[in-house]
Chain A
Amino acid sequence: MSEWLDDEAGPVVRPYALTRGRTRASREGFDLIAIIATAATSTFAPPNAGPEHVAILDLCVRPLSVAEISAKLKLPLGVVRVLLGDLLDLGLIVVRRPETENRLPNERVLKEVLNGLQAL
């Protein structure tokens, strides 16, 4: 947001004004840890894209989680999800969703996490 305002000032624009009042993404399923990447083809943002759409496309040149996008752009999760829905509809981002369907985590992934933690 504006650089001459400090954190104490609070948001200048009400967050959901950025989404034109929409509170739900057009498609469901942007989990907190869904990984978002700017599509290789999205060199140009569409003409009606807002600065926040462009900021997401710039940020996700390196894949990032939905939570990280929200934190780095200082936008509430709900707002980020609506904006991501717009970008996905336009084919400007790709999404890798976490494996949340199964009640039990994948054993192979767990063992990899264990090895990774032990090697830290």
Chain B
Amino acid sequence: MDSRRSDPSRGAAAMPLAVKILVAGGFGVGKTTLVGAVSEIKPLRTEEQLTDRSVGIDDTSGVERKTTTTVAMDFGRITIRDGLVLYLFGTPGQDRFWFMWDELALGALGAVVLADSFPSIDYFERRRLPFIVGVNCFDGAIQYDTEEIRAALDLDPRVPIILCDVRRRESGKQVLIALVEHVLSVMAERQRQAGAVIH
């Protein structure tokens, strides 16, 4: 191998840093619609094929599985500036793919949970990954009271709830802005707490 090839910095200098935000929620709640509304590209789909062994870890049904299972994730992209790219990943819907969530959540800035999805709220609380709850109120849908939703989801009063229309770009943008503002305030709060422990 010659020296030019082994110098990764030459190419890496021009390579953007990537960050990600997760969009979680149950089937049909509008994850991919939200991603598509704000993404600069048509949402793409990546898949992973799992062997029966990895699928079966948390499977208590006792049913022998011989087939492989495909987990699909839809994602989009927003170029923040030259050198900084934000990816938005819809989480796989089925609860038995939690281990895929671990990979997705690693290093994520935060998550938008589209209600109604209790399991994902529990997951992000356990992982201490900052998240907000988006409630998709498209035309004709019941207009919810955010405090009713907070009570129904048993949600921490500090977690913002945003009413949105995931089909609209401007609305999706406001959801993401609310999330990043929330992440910044969570970080400041945690830094204060860490300081209080030390002193």
Report A's interface with B, CB cutoff 8 A.
15-16, 31-35, 37-42, 63, 65, 67-68, 70-72, 76-78, 91-92, 94-96, 98-100, 103-105, 107, 109-118, 120
Chain A to chain B contacts (Cβ below 8 Å), 8 pairs = A63-B14, A77-B47, A96-B12, A98-B18, A100-B106, A109-B19, A112-B84, A117-B176
Contact indicator A33/B49 (Cβ below 8 Å): no
Tell me whether A95 and B8 are in contact in the complex, defined as CB-CB below 8 angstroms, given that A67-B44, A100-B107, A114-B180 are known contacts: yes
Tell me whether A67 and B46 are in contact in the complex, defined as CB-CB below 8 angstroms, given that A32-B103, A37-B14, A109-B84 are known contacts: yes
Grouping DSSP codes into helix (H, G, I), strand (E, B) and loop, the B interface class, with mixed when no group exceeds half, is: mixed
A120 CB contacts on chain B under 8 angstroms: 38, 78, 169, 173
Question: What's the Cα separation between A111 and B183 when bound, in Å?
Answer: 10
Contact indicator A63/B109 (Cβ below 8 Å): no
Contact indicator A39/B5 (Cβ below 8 Å): yes
B128 CB contacts on chain A under 8 angstroms: 103
A105 CB contacts on chain B under 8 angstroms: 19, 107, 109-110, 183, 187
Question: What's the Cα separation between A39 and B177 when bound, in Å?
Answer: 36
- Nearest B-chain residue to A42, judged by Cβ: B5
Contact indicator B181/A114 (Cβ below 8 Å): yes
A76 CB contacts on chain B under 8 angstroms: 47-49, 70
- Interface membership of B80, Cβ < 8 A: yes
Chain B interface residue count: which class? Answer: 35 or more
Contact indicator A110/B107 (Cβ below 8 Å): no
- Interface membership of B168, Cβ < 8 A: no
- Nearest A-chain residue to B44, judged by Cβ: A71
A15 CB contacts on chain B under 8 angstroms: 49
Shortest Cβ gap from B147 to chain A (Å): 27
- Interface membership of B4, Cβ < 8 A: yes
A41 CB contacts on chain B under 8 angstroms: 2, 4-5
Beyond contacts A31-B107, A65-B87: 11 other A-B pairs, Cβ-Cβ < 8 A, are A32-B103, A67-B46, A67-B89, A68-B44, A71-B45, A71-B46, A91-B1, A96-B16, A98-B19, A114-B184, A117-B176
B49 CB contacts on chain A under 8 angstroms: 15-16, 76, 78
Contact indicator B84/A116 (Cβ below 8 Å): yes
